[in-house]
Structure 1
Amino acid sequence: MLPDIRTGAVLPGTRGDERGSAVVDFVLVGSLLIFFFLAIIQLTLVLHVRNTLIDAASSGARYGTLADRTPADARQRTSELIGTALNQDYARDISTSEAEIRGIRTLEVTVRAPLPVLGLLGMPVSVLEVKGHAALPG
């Protein structure tokens, strides 16, 4: 029980064994805030990787549909863009195919990459798949 500051008398309903609990509260709340902050940073990184892969796949598809280019050129260009922006590990599984979207023939570039779990490190079982399209000439 804590004494009253003015009179020195012990106030009813107070306990004197709560000294130092502010330090424990600070550590618990601080660690929870740090965890949430790191989770938000990781989510932001996942979205950045996803958007970068989509952009690389779309740019590769547009490059592959030029008059003097082939789908192999599209794969190569996509791989170069991903390797420059992220890491070459994200450019291991790139495929191209022809697809028809709303009656228009398109070149489709598909990128399958690991989903970043901790920083840019990803597990091979969690896969992020994105596709980019560009209209084929003719």
Structure 2
Amino acid sequence: MRAERLRRGEDGERGSAVVDFVMVSLLIVALLLAVLQVAVYVHVRNVVTASAQEGARYAANADVGSAPGAARTVEIVAAATSVRTAQGMACTSEEELDTSGATLVVVRWSGSVPSLLAALGDVLPLEVTGRAMKEAA
């Protein structure tokens, strides 16, 4: 009877289902983590973009200087994502002249998005600029 099973290959494949399950599971977990990382990156990018625009609009008010735009941007990002994400990026606010001579408030945000795996650190770069026309005093 044992010789008959060996000819059919039953003993040679004993335990292979467990190995197949582990290999497929690792692949699925890796794909899930990749999709989640893309979702986190897109979310943080959208939050930072909207925050930079809001910070520029805030600093463009007639009775507000350009410097508080960066602080407002950091405050919004910290509330929407996390304080660690907000502190891990550099934010500046300044006034510029555009080609038509109008004064613009420009908020620049640069840094990197945190990775889901702590071992990778912050590997996804992110640079965002928000602009708003300065109101006349």
TM-score, with length taken from structure 1: 0.77
CA drift at 1:88: 2.8
In terms of fraction of residues, the more strand-rich structure is: 1
Aligned pairs for 1:13-92 (under 5 A) are 14-16=8-10, 17-92=12-87
SS in 2 for 1:66: coil
Identity of aligned residues (%): 33
- State how far apart, in whole Å, the 1-side matches of 2:134 and 2:24 are: 56
SS in 1 for 2:114: strand
Aligned pairs for 1:59-138 (under 5 A) are 59-92=54-87, 93-101=90-98, 103=100, 104-118=102-116, 123=121, 127-138=125-136
Please tell me whether the aligned partners of residues 50 and 128 of structure 1 are also in contact (alpha carbons under 8 angstroms). Answer: yes
- The size of the alignment, in residue pairs, is 132
- Paired residue type of 1:62: R
- State how far apart, in whole Å, the 2-side matches of 1:18 and 1:119 are: 35
Mark the CA change 1:119 to 1:52 in structure 2 (over 3 Å): closer, same or farther: farther
- Paired residue type of 1:57: A
The CA RMSD over aligned residues, in Å, is 3.0
Please tell me whether the aligned partners of residues 91 and 113 of structure 1 are also in contact (alpha carbons under 8 angstroms). Answer: no
Unaligned runs of 5+ in 1: 4-8
SS in 2 for 1:71: coil
Q: Which has the larger radius of gyration?
A: 1
- Paired residue type of 1:15: G
CA drift at 1:110: 0.6
Unaligned runs of 5+ in 2: none
